[in-house]
């Protein structure tokens, strides 16, 4: 490299750059950011017409993918009318039945797709690729899904509301408590604590997904009087909320209520009475 001398003019360098881009076969479109509310539909734009390429892509091939941690996810595939929803296999489970395109816009070079009922997990970086064009083209789109939380009445709020705590069942020496969370998204961690903030062992949480949110119920059986707290924490958004309940547990005077216990108590009473009578008899005889 010691004998290398850069003698090209700026115009020549620009020409070389254009040639390299053409030979590389990939031209990245300007990154587009799409912002939607959770639960709404998102249109991801991808159009050759906006790149001044007047081309009917009805018989063309393009592929939508989403970047993932280990690999990419297949979002939508189109090849001259063949799609994921009409015979083509390989679409990621996350997008099955939720992605469609604009058939009547293909003749204008529009390969945009629409994702229905967006979820937090849909957010991320997408690419729309035309690998068979000359040169091939890839467009980048970023989807941002804003979280929308729902309270128990179905209305919107800024975060998951306080959990609902209730006593499901109770006896003289125990109580069964339930902590119920509705429509939480992202999925929270739920736990029971005592009055000192110590985590208590509870039953396995019952969770179900509904409309992009999670319904969770966590039960615990307590045997001591005191205040108990159900804590709901969403680490992803740094949100924490809790509800308290005070439980009174009766203390038994006699723990042993078995027949043997009662028999032992009866024998003790008889012996005690007999001892008193014997003592009185002994005292009377010595007067």
3-state SS track over 104-135: HHHHHCECCEEECCCCHHHCEEEEEEECCCCC
205: nearest Cα among 193, 188, 222 = 188
Residue 279 has a pLDDT of 60
Q: If you average pLDDT over residues 113-122, what whole number do you get?
A: 90
37 and 105 together in one domain? yes
Give the number of other Cβ atoms within 10 Å of residue 51's Cβ: 14
142 and 204 together in one domain? no
The overall average pLDDT reported for the chain is 77
Better pLDDT: 155 or 2:
155
Better pLDDT: 51 or 16:
51
pLDDT category, 5, cuts 50, 70, 90? very low
Final residue before a domain boundary, out of 88, 121, 146 = 146
130 and 154 together in one domain? no
Residue 15 has a pLDDT of 39
Q: If you average pLDDT over residues 39-53, what whole number do you get?
A: 80
User: What's the burial of 147, exposed, middle or buried (CB within 10 Å: 0-12/13-18/19+)?
Assistant: buried
CATH of the domain at 173: 2.60.40.10
**Full domain range(s) for residue 46:** 24-146
Better pLDDT: 234 or 237:
234
When divided into structural domains, the chain yields a total of 2
Residue 76 has a pLDDT of 94
> Could you report the per-residue pLDDT of 63-116, keeping only the tens digit for each?
999 998 778 899 999 998 888 877 688 899 999 989 999 988 899 889 999 999
28 and 110 together in one domain? yes
> Could you report the per-residue pLDDT of 150-204, keeping only the tens digit for each?
444 454 444 577 888 989 888 889 999 999 998 787 888 999 999 888 999 999 9
What are the distances in angstroms from CA 210 to CA 57, 106, 180, 237?
38, 35, 14, 20
Residue 50 has a pLDDT of 61
123 and 164 together in one domain? no
Q: Which two tokens stand for residue 286?
A: 């010595």
Residue 35 has a pLDDT of 87
**Tokens 């004998």 sit at which residue?**
3
132 and 192 together in one domain? no
Residue 2 has a pLDDT of 38
124 and 189 together in one domain? no
Residue 27 pLDDT > 60: no
Report d(CA 246, CA 165) in Å as an integer: 11
Q: How far does CA 205 lie from the centroid of its chain?
A: 15
Report d(CA 258, CA 241) in Å as an integer: 45
Give the number of other Cβ atoms within 10 Å of residue 128's Cβ: 25
Domain annotation covers residue 109: yes
């Amino acid at each position: 490299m010691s004998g290398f001398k850069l003698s090209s003019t700026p115009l020549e360098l620009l020409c070389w750059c254009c040639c390299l881009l053409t030979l590389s076969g990939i031209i990245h479109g300007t990154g587009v950011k799409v912002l939607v509310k959770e639960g709404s539909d998102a249109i991801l734009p991808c159009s050759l017409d906006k790149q001044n390429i007047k081309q009917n892509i009805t018989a063309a091939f393009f592929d939508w993918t989403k970047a993932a941690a280990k690999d990419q996810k297949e979002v939508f595939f189109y090849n001259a009318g063949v799609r994921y929803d009409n015979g083509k296999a390989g679409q990621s489970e996350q997008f099955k039945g939720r992605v469609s395109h604009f058939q009547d816009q293909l003749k204008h070079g529009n390969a945009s797709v629409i994702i229905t009922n967006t979820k937090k997990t849909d957010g991320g970086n997408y690419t729309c690729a035309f690998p068979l064009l000359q040169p091939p083209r890839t467009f980048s789109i970023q989807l941002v899904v804003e979280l929308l939380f729902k309270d128990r009445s179905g209305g919107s709020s800024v975060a998951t509301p306080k959990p609902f705590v209730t006593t499901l069942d109770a006896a003289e020496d125990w109580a069964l408590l339930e902590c119920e969370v509705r429509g939480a998204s992202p999925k929270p961690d739920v736990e029971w604590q005592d009055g000192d903030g110590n985590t208590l062992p509870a039953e396995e949480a019952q969770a179900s997904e509904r409309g992009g949110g999670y319904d969770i119920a966590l039960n615990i059986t307590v045997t001591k009087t005191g205040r108990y707290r159900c804590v709901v924490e969403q680490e992803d958004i740094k949100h924490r909320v809790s509800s308290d309940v005070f439980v009174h547990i009766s203390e038994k005077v006699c723990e042993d209520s078995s027949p043997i216990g009662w028999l032992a108590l009866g024998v003790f009473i008889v012996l005690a009475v007999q001892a008193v009578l014997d003592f009185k008899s002994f005292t009377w005889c010595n007067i």
